[in-house]
Amino acid sequence: MRRILAITLFLLLGAAIGLSQRAASAGNSSGNSGQNTVANSGDQNAIGQMLIQREQESWARRKAGDASYFQKNIPGDFKGTQADGTKLSQGDLVSHTRSSPMSDYNLSNFNVAFPSADTAVVTYNADYRLVSEDGLPLHQKRQITSRWVRRDGDWANVDNVFKKIQ
């Protein structure tokens, strides 16, 4: 009797596992040829590292005063928001790079999230020193959130928000 009960339980368990795997594979192949709507974790890791490098590059170019970098690499529809609520365009980034020199910066605590396959959100902290357009030395600490979208096979930084860190 115990033997029959054990065999029955074993068969039921196997059937349940088989049905759950079939349901999972049917859910993944519903009209998208087996592709996930969000990139797999290996792709996300590589894309995330590339976006972090692009953020780091933009700070290095900002410190170097390379306004042409922002003309070439930031899309015309870019929208930024400074900690005081001031809105920034691509043209504003170019202008600030030319007229407000940065002397030092430190970036830390990077994190990348993927709300969809074509959208990434990069967050990090920035501690930097610059001279305002009025000639005043400033030391600022900000948490930065940058939204990147995939356009024509490449990633573009379309907006960012700076929040003051106390």
Query: In angstroms, rounded to a whole number, what is the distance separating the alpha carbons of residues 39 and 25?
Result: 17
Q: What is the pLDDT of residues 38-72, one digit of tens each?
A: 456 779 999 999 999 999 999 999 999 999 999 99
Give the structural domain span for 120. Answer: 41-164
C-alpha distances in Å from residue 143, one per residue of 8, 82, 160: 59, 11, 10
pLDDT at res. 166: 78
C-alpha distances in Å from residue 100, one per residue of 40, 44, 133, 149: 41, 35, 5, 28
Helix (H/G/I), strand (E/B), else coil: 7:
helix
Query: In angstroms, rounded to a whole number, what is the distance separating the alpha carbons of residues 105 and 59?
Result: 8
CATH number of the domain within which 54 lies: 3.10.450.50
Do 69 and 145 lie in one domain? The reply is: yes
64-90 average pLDDT score: 95
DSSP 40: -
The DSSP bridge pattern shows strands 79-81 and 154-164 to be parallel
116-121 average pLDDT score: 96
pTM of the model: 0.74
**Number of structural domains the chain divides into:** 2
Q: Please report which confidence band the pLDDT of residue 15 belongs to, taking 50, 70 and 90 as the band edges.
A: very low
- Our CA angle for 57, 62, 66, nearest 5°, is 95
pLDDT at res. 39: 52
